[in-house]
Amino acid sequence: MSTRNKTLHQAAGAITFLLMTISIYMIFIYAPMEKVMMEVQKIFYFHVGVAWNGALAFLVVFVVSIMYLMTKDGKWDRYGMASAEIGLLFATLVLLTGPIWGKSAWNTWWTWEPRLTSTLVIWFIYVAYFLVRGAVAEYHRKATLSAVFGIIGFLNVPIVYYSVHLWRVAHPMVFGSTGGGLHPKMLHALIVTVFAFTFLYIYYMLKSLAIETSRRELENIKSVLRERID
């Protein structure tokens, strides 16, 4: 890793750590306690933070997948794979934190309402994205199929967002014309948490791309050594 890249990684890591620390303080100390759900409501900040940035990660996959199909440049495939990994992680956290909140709100861990179901569909699509990458050996065919899955997966994201507007759902609507809104201090904590997870996404992207670059360099060295031995 070059000195410039190392400095960039360290800066991203430091900003992420600082924002995460501030976020935790604002969630548990600064923001007031919700009167009905009490402590359980605090998971809302993490839930929304990972949901927002999961959508961001899948948007990046969508854009770079289109770029790969247009150019066949491998760098777009690498960006897509890195962002899809992080997006899948965030989607998993959404599916884990949501039921904890839902158990207190609805007295059930899961309900097959549109937002939860469409989120689960996205999760399965991106799991399939990585199954395809593992099953197909030829690089360009693998990258092309991955790009198609990346595009299809993102097309479901607007359905997740607008599901609370299009159908009658149990999922709460915090913002919008029918949303309950937030106490100003709760909103401050939410904004900081979303930014903290955004920088976490950037930090993970930098690390994932650096690992992939190192892996490719290692493969090139192995190829050169094989040719010399032969």
pLDDT of residue 69: 94
Query: How far apart (Å, rounded) are the C-alpha atoms in residues 91 and 53?
Result: 9
Smallest CA-to-CA distance from 42 within 51, 53, 31 is with 31
**Residue 207 belongs to some domain of the structure:** yes
Q: Which two tokens stand for residue 207?
A: 């690390």
Question: Cα(206)–Cα(14) distance, rounded to whole angstroms?
Answer: 13
Asked, for residue 142, whether it belongs to a domain, the answer is yes
For the chain, the straight-line distance linking the first and the last C-alpha, in angstroms and rounded, comes to 30
Q: Which residues contact 151 (CB under 8 A, 6 or more apart)?
A: 62, 65, 66
Long-range CB contacts for residues 139-146, cutoff 8 Å, separation at least 24: 139/74, 140/72, 143/68, 143/74, 143/77, 144/68, 144/69, 146/65, 146/77, 146/80, 146/81, 146/84
Residue 220 belongs to domain spanning = 42-229
CA atoms within 13 A on the CB side of 104: 15
Residue 59's pLDDT is 95
Q: How does pLDDT run along the chain (230 residues), one tens digit per residue?
A: 667 777 888 888 899 999 999 999 999 988 888 776 677 778 889 998 999 999 999 999 999 999 999 999 888 999 999 999 999 999 999 998 888 877 776 677 767 777 788 888 889 999 999 998 888 888 889 999 999 989 998 888 888 777 655 555 555 555 444 445 677 888 899 999 999 999 999 999 999 988 888 887 787 787 777 777 76
Phi and psi dihedrals of 130, rounded to 5? -80, -30
Task: For residue 3, tell me if it sits in a domain.
Answer: no
Would residue 143 count as lying in a domain? yes
Predicted TM-score (pTM) above 0.75: yes
Q: What is the pLDDT of residue 1?
A: 62
Is 220 within a domain?
yes
Q: What is the pLDDT of residue 32?
A: 84
For 110, the token pair is: 């899961």
Q: What is the pLDDT of residue 179?
A: 47
Is residue 212 domain-resident? yes
What pLDDT does residue 230 have?
66
- If one counts the domains in the chain, the total is 1
